[in-house]
Amino acid sequence: MGEFLHQLASGLALGGVYAIMALALVMIYQATHLINFAQGEMAMFSTYFAWKLMDLGEPYWFAFFATIVASFICGVVIERLVVRPFANAPILASVIVFIGLSLIFNSLAGWLYGFSVTSFDSPFNGRPWFGAGYMSAHEAGAIVVTLCVLALVYAFFRLTPLGLAMRAAAQNPVSSRLVGIRVGWMLAIGWGLAAAIGSVAGMMAAPIVYLDPNMMGGVLLYAFAGAVLGGIDNPFGAVFGGVAVGVLGNLIGAYLVGDEVKLSVALAIIIAVLVWRPSGLFGRRLVARV
Amino acid sequence: MITRRTFLQSSAAAAALAASASSARADNAPGVTDTEIKIGQTMPYSGPASAYGVIGRTEAAYFKMINEKGGVNGRKINFISLDDAYSPPKTVEQIRRLVEQEQVAFIFNSLGTPPNAAIRQYLNDNKVPQLFVATGAAMFSDPAHFPWTMGWQPNYQTEAKIFGKHILKTKPDAKIAVLYQNDGFGKDYLIGLKDGLGTDHAGMVIKEASYETSEPTVDSQIVTLQGSGADVLLIAATPKFAAQAIRKTFDVGWTPVRYMTDVSQSIASVMKPAGLEKSKGVITGVYGKDPTDARWKDDPGFKEYSAFIEKYMTPKDLIDANAVYGFGLGATMIQVLKQCGSDLSRANIMKQAASLKDLELPMLLPGIKINTSSDNFSPIRQEALASFNGESWEQFGELYQA
Amino acid sequence: MADADSAPGVLVAIAVGVFALAFPFAASGYHIYQGAQVLILAIALLGLNLLTGFNGQISLGHGAFFAIGSYGAAILMVKFGLPYWAAIPLASVVCFIAGFLFGFPALRFGGLYLALATFALAVATPQILSYKGFDALTGGSQGLTLAKPRAPFGIGLTADQWLYLVCLACAAALYWAALNLVRGRVGRALVAIRDQPIAAETMGINAALYKTTCFGVSALYAGVAGGLSTLAVGFVSPESFGLALSLAFLVGIVVGGLASLGGALFGALFIEFVPNLADQLTVSFGEGAKALPGAIYGALLILVMAAMPTGVAGAARAAARALTSSRQPKVEKGGVNVAAKYERKGEAP
């Protein structure tokens, strides 16, 4: 029973990280109907930015918020400069562009910071919670952060005029333009928000998985699985999906098929969901008229 | 260093180079002229294993230092190190380029078990020395079948055997759990451990858990191993995952005796990220001096190393275990070349590599000597056991020889 | 180069063919090896292009089928002692079946989701290959080593030359097969399914059958390429088949030219030589910049997509058209209306 709880707890902790990444993916999907394959590398690069700030002596929370702001700006710039020109190109062109972006970020990080593993501070230090050590303070903190981010995103979309404008722009660009919404800038802001959320994911992940340029590869795949499972157009769904993938991955790996094929479990989840319920558990079901 | 040639020009140029090299000294290897020795290498400068790229950089800097001092027996070293991204097909391609197009004399310290496995047959068929491969896999110290391939570092099975023997001596009724990377490196540890325990004690290993390098963490594996009730844990993991394993065992409140591979003994890359407090008590095999250990502050060998870093590398490389490794390799290579004297044929280079006698290097632990012979292709076979005390590796016991 | 009816097209094809045949007798061993790699990549790209370019199904995971072909051939040769000319076709058939089976769930995915699922496949492939349960067959992480095939009947060719010629023969045969496929009813059906799936179904085309078969055929091509690659490298291990391989294939067909069979050669040349080129560019940045080739590669990708969206083949065709300045309609042979893709898509209010 103890082992089961441990597996559950560490699955929840990692799942929190996957959930935040999945949220970033949902962000971009809702705005542009594209899946950003470069999200992981962008998050990693943001995390290095935060690390550099702390290396230069800045306190954690300053670096944290500065990174979020910087990532937001970077996301907006990337959308305007790199993604926008391909807005009307076939999907494949965008996919290639994302792959190019991920290569660039990965290599840049390696060049600037080297490929060695570094430690990354966590703001949540102290005794592991619940005494029995099911979850470290940081892992518990990461889950709290996940929920906060989710709440903020929800509040933003439902309660602010800007959020309303973004939702309108994604759903119906033509009519939105007619009522004066700057659709182009909505897309850019969507990317900026996604980059900011991704940077939070990276900063929460780094104390657990340690910082190196290749740290987000596996995380991204699990985030994809989570987003697909929960519904790629539903923020709540994405968070649920991310956590579920973390927990399921651990449990299935520990008790059923062996820990070394967890990535295949993620693959199986993706395929199974897409075959049986493509919109995910909480996504909106789209019916196309013929 | 690397020049761009077209398809048609290259064959003519290669032929000319071979002709000029052979006209200088009839029996010298290709790539050897009166003024230079060309050495080839593949290293993962990109891709999943790119953290080890520092090794290649260090060796390039080392050879630069030697060249500035006049080279070896009047010849400068032309060191060509190409990226193979740890992908065996790419390694094969780059090695063929080095041997057939760049016409190097031999291949030095290429990194990785799969990459070296992919090129071993080709190099042996073409009688090109594959010296001091950067991997501890036992398969590369097999002079009977592969006389042109030689290792350098203590091999993984040997270290695991030493661990096994130590466990038998100190905790004969132990229950052992093993975390290992699911590749040749990790599996070698499993084999070596069971070897060291002996067939009648092999049952001491009660649980094994493996992981793939594409996974984000090994936390789940540690929990599984904890659940087996073992009181000894062998961590056969590369730095990132070793750090995670150390941290997680502490966090879940599990206190087995932890043995760890020497590949991950860097204090800067493993013990510190894991947490110095959490790493107390971890045991590993050591053969080199840790650059963060204050014990070596006034040691002449360490001073030589830090002077080298200061002049030829960047300050953060000082504490990088890969830089210490590259430094030792460079010194070994230069010794072999010196021993060759004026006969730089491939056969003699191989012969001299197999004739190292009691070679001591600046950053090897006192008492450890490099020895090779025609049936011993494992240059370093001694290790000491050390335990981490929260600050540095404290040696205990005597040097083990395998 | 897809419209090989026209006189310039035929001339180009002949010139390429002559060069390809003469090449192994003029170049050195290492370059012949590179030539063989280019041919192997071209075969894989042909297959992927059939699926993604002509049939519109995005696959980011073709490295997995390449791996099945590679390992399949290696296992058949090493563990069962089959000669290579039997092992490779057999392994390719296995790939066809695998691709066909994968095509079924793929029917349910839309373009982007298929990309996602195949991306996951590519990431999971090395893990699946290292799975302990398969160790007896696959050699686990040690991989399998095999010797290069020698020329038969004592023909005076080196192993490198013989291998190159085998690859050339396979590439030529598969290109010819693909050409016929694409120019015939099947090709038109595939394109119709890509461009107007609903209309195609209404016209009586069994979209499901065509799509899954296309997946199977494209996997078969990747399998042949994988098998040949096993011969060329002489070694297989899980590390050889990671995500980078699948991404390289995608890059290859896009740079070469989607829905252009001849573009496969350009694409193969690009992914074989440009990383080395990027490697050399970084020499000027100093030793520490060995990581930069990836960034240069990525930047090149984006630039090529921006400047040459139809790939090298498309640009070549446009240049040829400009030179001959004939008033050809925008719809080219093969039914690829590339211009239409870039028109603004009006959204229904």
Residue A200's CB is within 10 A of a number of other CB atoms, namely 26
Instruction: Give pLDDT, residue A271.
Output: 85
Q: Is C99 inside any structural domain?
A: yes
- Asked if residue C99 has pLDDT above 60, the reply is yes
Nearest partner of C45 among C218, C172, C214, judged by Cα? C218
Compute the mean pLDDT over every residue in chain B, rounded to the nearest whole number.
88
Position A141: which residue type? Answer: G
Q: How confident is the model at residue A13 (pLDDT cuts 50, 70, 90)?
A: confident
Tell whether C328 lies on the interface with B, counting CB pairs under 8 A: no
Tell whether A270 lies on the interface with C, counting CB pairs under 8 A: yes
Q: Report the gap between the CA of A248 and the closest CA in chain B (Å).
A: 11
For chain C, the chains sharing at least 3 beta-carbon pairs closer than 8 angstroms are A, B
Query: What is the average per-residue pLDDT within B357-377?
Result: 92
- Asked if residue C310 has pLDDT above 60, the reply is yes
| % of chain B beyond a pLDDT of 70 | 94
Q: How confident is the model at residue C348 (pLDDT cuts 50, 70, 90)?
A: very low
Instruction: Give pLDDT, residue A42.
Output: 95
Instruction: Give pLDDT, residue B3.
Output: 52
Q: Which residue has the higher pLDDT, C349 or C18?
A: C18
Instruction: Give pLDDT, residue C268.
Output: 93
Lowest mean pLDDT among A273-287, C164-178, C280-294: C280-294
**B40 forms bridges with which residues in the sheet?**
B80, B107
Gap between the Cα atoms of A253 and A244, Å rounded? 13
Instruction: Give pLDDT, residue C257.
Output: 84
Chain B CB contacts of A10 below 8 Å:
217, 219-220, 223, 248
Chain C CB contacts of B46 below 8 Å:
290-291, 293-294
Q: Is B388 inside any structural domain?
A: no
Nearest partner of C236 among C35, C33, C66, judged by Cα? C66
Tokens of B22: 């052979």
Nearest partner of A128 among B358, C300, B251, B241, judged by Cα? B251
Q: Is C251 inside any structural domain?
A: no
Query: What is the average per-residue pLDDT within B315-336?
Result: 91
Gap between the Cα atoms of C303 and C307, Å rounded? 6
Q: Which residue has the higher pLDDT, C34 or B47?
A: C34
Pick the most confident of B243-252, B314-323, C135-144: B243-252
For C239, the closest of B7, B88, B139 (CB atoms) is B88
Compute the mean pLDDT over every residue in chain A, rounded to the nearest whole number.
85
What total of structural domains would you count in chain C?
1
Q: What is the pLDDT of residues B237-268, one digit of tens each?
A: 998 899 999 999 998 889 999 999 988 888 88
Query: What is the average per-residue pLDDT within C245-258?
Result: 86
B78 and B161, same structural domain? no
Please say whether the beta carbons of B317 and B323 come within 8 A. Answer: yes
Q: Is C222 inside any structural domain?
A: yes
Tell whether C26 lies on the interface with B, counting CB pairs under 8 A: yes
Task: Quote the strand ranges of C112-246, DSSP E.
Answer: 144-145, 235-236
Interchain CB distance below 8 Å, C142 and B8: no
- Asked if residue B155 has pLDDT above 80, the reply is yes
Gap between the Cα atoms of C182 and C175, Å rounded? 10
Contacting B residues, span 308-337, partner chain C, CB-CB under 8 Å: 314
Interchain CB distance below 8 Å, C251 and A99: yes
B114 and B15, same structural domain? yes
Gap between the Cα atoms of A192 and A186, Å rounded? 10
Tell whether C145 lies on the interface with B, counting CB pairs under 8 A: yes
Instruction: Give pLDDT, residue B62.
Output: 95
Q: Is C141 inside any structural domain?
A: yes
Q: Is C162 inside any structural domain?
A: yes
The domain in which residue C154 lies consists of 7-239
Gap between the Cα atoms of C319 and C338, Å rounded? 15
Q: Report the gap between the CA of C138 and the closest CA in chain B (Å).
A: 12
B270 and B202, same structural domain? yes
Q: What is the pLDDT of residues B64-79, one digit of tens each?
A: 999 999 999 999 999 9
Chain C CB contacts of B48 below 8 Å:
242
Q: Report the gap between the CA of C30 and the closest CA in chain B (Å).
A: 6
What total of structural domains would you count in chain B?
2
Interchain CB distance below 8 Å, B215 and A218: yes
Chain A CB contacts of C131 below 8 Å:
260-261
Tell whether A168 lies on the interface with C, counting CB pairs under 8 A: no
Interchain CB distance below 8 Å, B224 and A254: yes
- Asked if residue B14 has pLDDT above 70, the reply is no
Query: What is the average per-residue pLDDT within A166-175?
Result: 83
Tell whether C149 lies on the interface with B, counting CB pairs under 8 A: no
Lowest mean pLDDT among A265-269, B356-360, C172-176, C274-278: C274-278
Chain A CB contacts of C134 below 8 Å:
none
Q: Is C185 inside any structural domain?
A: yes
Please say whether the beta carbons of B365 and B266 come within 8 A. Answer: no
Q: Count of B–C CB contacts within 8 Å?
A: 115
B193 and B69, same structural domain? no
B103 and B78, same structural domain? yes
Interchain CB distance below 8 Å, C299 and A100: yes
The domain in which residue B35 lies consists of 7-154+303-382
Tell whether B60 lies on the interface with C, counting CB pairs under 8 A: yes
Query: What is the average per-residue pLDDT within C236-258?
Result: 87
For B14, the closest of C28, C33, C145 (CB atoms) is C28
Interchain CB distance below 8 Å, C342 and A88: yes
For chain A, the chains sharing at least 3 beta-carbon pairs closer than 8 angstroms are B, C
Query: What is the average per-residue pLDDT within C169-178?
Result: 92
Q: How confident is the model at residue A147 (pLDDT cuts 50, 70, 90)?
A: confident
Interchain CB distance below 8 Å, C239 and B86: yes
Nearest Cα residue in chain C from A99:
C298
- Asked if residue A208 has pLDDT above 70, the reply is yes
Gap between the Cα atoms of C54 and C48, Å rounded? 9
Q: How confident is the model at residue C292 (pLDDT cuts 50, 70, 90)?
A: confident
Instruction: Give pLDDT, residue C284.
Output: 65
Q: Residue A169: left (phi > 0), alpha (psi -120 to 50), or beta?
A: alpha
Interchain CB distance below 8 Å, B183 and C31: no
- Asked if residue B2 has pLDDT above 60, the reply is no
Q: Is B210 inside any structural domain?
A: yes
B163 and B147, same structural domain? no
Interchain CB distance below 8 Å, C119 and A102: no
DSSP B20-67: HHHHH-TTSPTTB-SSEEEEEEEE-SSSTTGGGHHHHHHHHHHHHHHH
Interchain CB distance below 8 Å, A264 and C127: yes
Q: Is B49 inside any structural domain?
A: yes
Chain A CB contacts of B321 below 8 Å:
none
For B187, the closest of C141, C233, C291 (CB atoms) is C141
- Asked if residue B9 has pLDDT above 60, the reply is no
Chain C CB contacts of B50 below 8 Å:
291
Chain A CB contacts of C250 below 8 Å:
95-96, 99
Interchain CB distance below 8 Å, C109 and A274: yes
Tell whether B89 lies on the interface with C, counting CB pairs under 8 A: yes
By the 10 Å C-beta count (0-12 exposed, 13-18 middle, 19+ buried), C93 is classed as middle
Tell whether B169 lies on the interface with C, counting CB pairs under 8 A: no
User: If interface means Cβ-Cβ distance under 8 Å, which residues of chain B face chain A?
Assistant: 46, 48, 50-51, 53-54, 182, 209-212, 214-217, 219-221, 223-224, 226-227, 239-240, 243-244, 248, 251-253, 269-270, 272-273, 316, 320, 322
Residue B119's CB is within 10 A of a number of other CB atoms, namely 29
Query: What is the average per-residue pLDDT within A94-111?
Result: 88
**B364 forms bridges with which residues in the sheet?**
B288
Mutate which of A30, A44, A92, A260 to test chain C, going by most C C-beta atoms within 10 A?
A92
Q: Report the gap between the CA of B389 and the closest CA in chain A (Å).
A: 20
Chain B CB contacts of C132 below 8 Å:
182, 210
B149 and B168, same structural domain? no
Chain C CB contacts of B211 below 8 Å:
none
Please say whether the beta carbons of B183 and B116 come within 8 A. Answer: no
Last residue of a domain, one of B286, B315, B339: B286
Q: What is the pLDDT of residues C182-213, one digit of tens each?
A: 888 888 888 888 888 888 888 888 888 888 99
Q: Is B221 inside any structural domain?
A: yes
How large is the C-alpha radius of gyration of chain A?
A: 19
pTM summary value: 0.86
Q: How confident is the model at residue A266 (pLDDT cuts 50, 70, 90)?
A: confident
For A254, the closest of B220, B251, B316 (CB atoms) is B220
Q: Is B230 inside any structural domain?
A: yes
Gap between the Cα atoms of C241 and C236, Å rounded? 9
- Asked if residue B402 has pLDDT above 80, the reply is no
Query: What is the average per-residue pLDDT within B19-43?
Result: 75
Query: What is the average per-residue pLDDT within C239-247?
Result: 87
- Asked if residue B197 has pLDDT above 50, the reply is yes
How large is the C-alpha radius of gyration of chain C?
A: 20
B219 and B97, same structural domain? no
Tell whether C200 lies on the interface with A, counting CB pairs under 8 A: no
For chain B, the chains sharing at least 3 beta-carbon pairs closer than 8 angstroms are A, C
Which residue matches tokens 């395998």?
Answer: B402
Instruction: Give pLDDT, residue C283.
Output: 64
Last residue of a domain, one of B286, B317, B340: B286
Quote the ipTM score.
0.86
Interchain CB distance below 8 Å, B212 and A260: yes
Lowest mean pLDDT among A47-61, A195-209, C170-184, C190-204: C190-204
Chain B CB contacts of A13 below 8 Å:
219
B64 and B104, same structural domain? yes
CATH assignment of the domain containing B261:
3.40.50.2300
B309 and B241, same structural domain? no
Gap between the Cα atoms of C270 and A96, Å rounded? 15
B208 and B141, same structural domain? no
Query: What is the average per-residue pLDDT within B184-202?
Result: 88
DSSP A27-88: HHHHHHS---TTHHHHHHHHHHHHHHHHHTT--HHHHHHHHHHHHHHHHHHHIIIIIGGGTT
B11 and B141, same structural domain? yes
Instruction: Give pLDDT, residue C22.
Output: 82
Tell whether A210 lies on the interface with C, counting CB pairs under 8 A: no
- Asked if residue C293 has pLDDT above 90, the reply is no
